[in-house]
Amino acid sequence: MEIKLKNCRIKIVQGDITEQTVDAIVNAANPTLMGGGGVDGAIHRKGGNKILEECKQIRATLYPNGLPTGEAVITSGGNLKAKYVIHTVGPIWKGGNNREAEFLSKAYWNSLNLAKSRGLKSIAFPSISTGAYGYPIDKASVIALSTVKNFLEKENGLEEVIFVLFTAKDFEVYKQKASEIFSL
């Protein structure tokens, strides 16, 4: 599925984010930035040690207590096809009354803003927080899509934003929500 918004293409695809050829892929990390399971594990495994070394440097300098939820940092892409990895931390789902939506939106917004500030043109997102962190996909997809829509309506520079969904079910949910949000 492909949507045009100003000078930007928004694509929704099913696949593995570590295979994307884009300027930056986004990692659904945890505050330690030291890797983990899910998409985080896949990115570190395929990207190699360079990414971890840069994450250690970020921890030692900018974020000794860990990356706060909703914030984003950038490293190189190591052995990945993507030039960079933007690491962000989504919220852990605790029922919905703990500012989860606000923090999830911040994770997308700050990742987009970091990409834009570095002059990057293309960025790919996984479905942040909807795996180990337990955020319901129907709610998370609406926040992901509408945050990207709001960002692109306000800011220029990005030419391609790709949502990469790992499962067929998540892919279907995203396509359904996108057709509503973008009035297709």
Binding to ligand AR6 by residue 31, rule CB under 6 A?
no
State which residue, 7 or 21, has the beta carbon closest to ligand AR6. Answer: 21
**CA–CA separation, 120 vs 44, rounded Å?**
21
**Token pair for residue 107?**
């994770």
Pick from 47, 70, 78, 131 the residue near ligand AR6 by CB under 6 A. Answer: 131
8 Å CB contact between 174 and 22: no
Helix axes 137-154, 168-181, angle to 10 degrees: 50
Is 170 a catalytic site residue? Answer: no
Catalytic pick among 16, 23, 40, 170: 40
Query: Stretches 16-24, 96-104, 109-117, 153-161: which one binds ligand AR6 (CB under 6 A)?
Result: 16-24
Q: Which of residues 86-125 bind ligand AR6 (CB under 6 A)?
A: 90
Q: Order across the sheet with 8-14: list the strands.
A: 2-5, 8-14, 160-165, 122-125, 24-28, 84-88, 72-76
Structure-derived torsion over alpha carbons of residues 45, 116, 102, 82, reported in degrees to the nearest 10: -10
Cβ at position 93, least distance to ligand AR6 in Å = 9
Pick from 105, 111, 129, 147 the residue near ligand AR6 by CB under 6 A. Answer: 129
Binding to ligand AR6 by residue 167, rule CB under 6 A?
yes
State which residue, 8 or 89, has the beta carbon closest to ligand AR6. Answer: 89
**CA–CA separation, 59 vs 100, rounded Å?**
24
Q: Which of residues 39-58 bind ligand AR6 (CB under 6 A)?
A: 39-40, 42
Strands (E), 29-175: 72-76, 84-88, 122-125, 160-165
Pick from 3, 17, 22, 158 the residue near ligand AR6 by CB under 6 A. Answer: 17
Residue numbers at the binding site for ligand AR6 (CB under 6 A): 16-18, 28-30, 36-40, 42, 90, 126-133, 164, 166-167, 170
Residue positions annotated with a catalytic role: 40
